[in-house]
Amino acid sequence: MEETIELVVTPVKKVFYNDESAYGIYGFDVGFEDYGKVRRNPYGNITAKGTMPELELEHKYVAVLKEYKDMKYGHGYIVESIKKEIPTTAEGQREFLKHLTSAKLVDSIFEAYPDADIIQLIHNDEFDISKVKGVGKVTYEKLKKKVEENLELQEALSWLGKYGIKYNMVVKLVREFKSPLILIQQLEDNPYLLTKVKGMGFIKTDSIALQMGVEHDSPHRIRACIVHCIEQENQSGNAYIKKQLLLQEAQGLLQLNRSVISKELMKFLSIEKSPIICIDEEKVSLTKIYKAEEYVADKLTSILYSSKEVANFDVEKFLKLYCKDNKVKLTEEQRTFFHRFAKYNVNFLIGYAGTGKSFMQKILLSMLQELKLKYRLLSPTGKAAKVLTRYTGVQASTIHRALAIHDSEDGQPSPIEEDVILVDESSMCDVYLVQQLLRAMTNPATRIIFIGDDFQLPSVQVGNFLFDCINSGIFPVTKLTQVFRQQEGGVLDVATNIRQQNSFVSSGVEGKVRFGTDMILHAVESAHIEDGYKYYYKRALTDYNPEDIMVLSPTRKGQLGVGEINRQLQEIVNPPNFFKKEHKVSRKDGDVIFRVGDYIMNVKNTYKLEVTPETFVDVFNGDTGKIVDIDKHNKVIIIDFDDCDGVPIKFEDIDKLMHCYGITIHKSQGSGAKVVIMITDKAHTFQINANLLYTGVTRTQERLVLLSQAKTINAGIKKVASMKRNSFLGQLIEERKQLEQSAA
């Protein structure tokens, strides 16, 4: 192992610093007494790089460095850890305090205490505020808090730095644990608490914990590994893992005898207070997931079995009159839905693209108005809510926004009291979201309709709500199968062929092929796809705005992944300009530049962002907007989102933003665009299936360009994604049904 050295350094030049990644390169002076410890460059100082806070030039720091040799630049140093040296001289303390409060207050303090160790006095609670002119208790308490936080943070940086935990991760950990001292105390007891923070998974945490001296058979270690194995299954959408598979996977990670792990698993399962995991017939799950599925099963079946038919309303008479007035016809499938709606309090309306789901929602809204019933239109994402609003002419919102959980003091959802709730794009709903929605329903007579397409991709989150419910055989399900406008031979015809696993193009086809009036397939080799999507994007810009064009790819990574696609399209739509502010961040797939004028998407729910001192807003996953300013002084990006202007996103939260000129097909679900340019290359063969192709194609509102190879498309059409996931919901619904039948 390479040796490290600890010494006092003074940064004299900032060569480079990135706020988002907290990576920097600095030139440092070292004290004369440390000359023998380091290799100095021709300028008489050293260069060091690594993850660290932004350093203040000419201030002293205590650093732990590791030497490296670069063929091009010679000797240099990597920063293992660095913390500000707490000054003891009057001059040093004066400068230290000036970074925490006003210069005027610092001068007043030193007038009262010209020769004292101010920081130590404050830390030991020996500072007499009455001696300082013009300083009140509130002002002093603020200063004291900042001094303590600074001292504690330096201690946390020093302690965690020994184990290779970098500055930006320490800041995240302190934010999670609320205090540096609490962080240290809790990690000394159980280092595996590190896994609570994103970016500190079990593998990384285990390495650190073993360095700290944790025993290989420690209960903390085994339990953290068990939770990790369950969470890995959750990432695949599964609610549980079979016990024997869990033991097998944990054994591989822990390198312990299986009997030791099994014994600890049984102890873990027996915890009565706030149990983390539970078991049901050899199926091991996180308790919160089991409880969520249990609640959904209980509440939905309860609503169903308390159904009351709409009184004094002739459904058939209403439909005949509506069809006559609007010169439309309804199929028997469609008519059946309206009769079921009038009879049952829970309904599922399932239909493929082009079967008239949106058309039927408009008719249903007319029926509700006739019945004088209040209703609410909801969708899982902001984009889906906008599509629903456009189709129905009625304002829809996201489920998260309707629940407004983070606006309440007790963390409870806002009550939803309407008579009827329509939930569109239900295939995207995970079990937690449905649980929160059902909790919010306070009207015992509420009717709820879940609308979706069961050939689209299931939720990326845990569970399989739509699939489990419509296959339970308990809830009324109306399935629309007749596709309208298919004879036009364009997007809808192609989508139907994909869904039915029928090839719509010969595998030998090359070049451009038109389908109807709204679709082009351009079959090209991989090397030409990048030029292809840029060509079609530029053509689309002559008739459409960037917000109306969506480039889709199955993947985030690689030359044809959305990361690189967004870099290329940003150069076309919003190239660099001397007058445009920008902010560069480093990510795993390369550097990303955010620039004023960029079209972006928020990819994680963010709550209570301060727009003005009196106005706070929530921004949800899928919300899109445009960057209008970048304030480097306050370290925020200002964004005009579709629903709110002037929203500040801190640099430290910038990982929640991505450009959205191009997005993954998964991310596009529920949204749509006037122009869709879809990429499916042979390099993506493993990821491509009929469901993915169908989902991407059906995002189209006006024009579709599909860039691929005919052979790649046909190989994908032959594969249908398995919609089955390991979940408890179907079983729990069946149990509720049997209880109801035995009680009847």
Looking up residue 430, the CATH number of its domain turns out to be: 3.40.50.300
Angle in degrees, CA 299, 303, 306, rounded to 5: 135
Which is it for the CA torsion 290, 295, 300, 302, positive or negative?
positive
451 and 527 inside one domain? no
271 and 296 inside one domain? no
3-state secondary structure string, 566-588?
HHHHHHHHCCCCCCCCEEEEEEC
Burial letters for 381-397: b for 16+ Cβ neighbours within 10 Å, e otherwise? bbbbbbbbeebbeeebb
Distance (Å, whole) CA 596 – CA 659: 12
DSSP string, 427-468: GG--HHHHHHHHHHB--TT-EEEEEE-TTSPPPSSSS-HHHH
Q: How many helical (H) and strand (E) elements, i.e. helices and strands, does the chain have?
A: 25, 29
Residue segments in the chain with a per-residue pLDDT below the cut of 70: 1-2, 19-21, 71-74, 99, 167, 273-274, 405-411, 485-488, 744
323 and 413 inside one domain? yes
At 124-167, the pLDDT tens digits run: 788 888 787 777 788 888 888 877 777 777 777 777 877 777 76
456 and 577 inside one domain? no
> Is residue 493, in this structure, part of any structural domain at all?
no
Which residues touch 364 (CB under 8 Å, ≥6 apart)? 338, 341, 422, 449
Distance (Å, whole) CA 596 – CA 700: 28
Distance (Å, whole) CA 167 – CA 157: 7
pLDDT of residue 19: 66
> Is residue 152, in this structure, part of any structural domain at all?
no
Closest CA to 642 of 701, 609, 591, 599: 599
Distance (Å, whole) CA 275 – CA 201: 21
Range of the domain at 478: 292-483+729-735
Which of 277, 304, 333 terminates a domain? The answer is 277
pLDDT of residue 71: 63
pLDDT of residue 486: 57
SS3 682: helix
SS3 704: strand
515 and 631 inside one domain? yes
250 and 388 inside one domain? no
Angle in degrees, CA 269, 270, 273, rounded to 5: 105
Distance (Å, whole) CA 688 – CA 711: 12
404 and 545 inside one domain? no
Ramachandran category for residue 291: left, alpha or beta (phi over 0 → left; psi -120 to 50 → alpha): alpha
At 425-473, the pLDDT tens digits run: 999 999 999 999 999 999 999 999 999 999 998 888 898 999 999 999 9
Distance (Å, whole) CA 359 – CA 355: 9
pLDDT of residue 436: 94
> Is residue 141, in this structure, part of any structural domain at all?
no
> Is residue 118, in this structure, part of any structural domain at all?
no
Residue 306 phi, psi dihedral angles, 5° rounding? -105, 15
CA distances from 328 to 195, 357, 485, 492 (A): 57, 14, 14, 20
Q: Which residues pair with 7 in a beta bridge?
A: 63
CATH number (domain holding residue 34): 2.40.50.120
Which of 277, 310, 328 terminates a domain? The answer is 277
Distance (Å, whole) CA 15 – CA 49: 9
Which residues touch 418 (CB under 8 Å, ≥6 apart)? 373, 374, 375, 376, 443, 446
| Residue 710, number of CB atoms within 10 A of its CB | 18
8 A C-beta contact, residue 112 and residue 131: yes
8 A C-beta contact, residue 625 and residue 578: no
pLDDT of residue 405: 66
600 and 556 inside one domain? yes
424 and 564 inside one domain? no
Residue 734 phi, psi dihedral angles, 5° rounding? -60, -40
pLDDT of residue 271: 84
H/E run at residue 549: strand 549-553
pLDDT of residue 1: 41
> Is residue 93, in this structure, part of any structural domain at all?
no
pLDDT of residue 250: 96
Distance (Å, whole) CA 194 – CA 181: 14
**What's the pTM?**
0.81
8 A C-beta contact, residue 88 and residue 29: no
254 and 298 inside one domain? no
> Is residue 321, in this structure, part of any structural domain at all?
yes
H/E run at residue 511: strand 511-515
> Is residue 97, in this structure, part of any structural domain at all?
no
Distance (Å, whole) CA 580 – CA 618: 27
H/E run at residue 77: strand 74-84
Which of 250, 277, 304 terminates a domain? The answer is 277
574 and 463 inside one domain? no
Q: State how beta strands 447-452 and 277-280 pair.
A: unpaired
356 and 476 inside one domain? yes
How is the chain split among helix, strand and coil, in percent rounded to 5? Answer: 45, 25, 35
8 A C-beta contact, residue 8 and residue 62: yes
Closest CA to 518 of 741, 673, 661: 673
Number of domains in the chain: 4
> Is residue 743, in this structure, part of any structural domain at all?
no
CA distances from 497 to 352, 505, 524 (A): 12, 10, 21
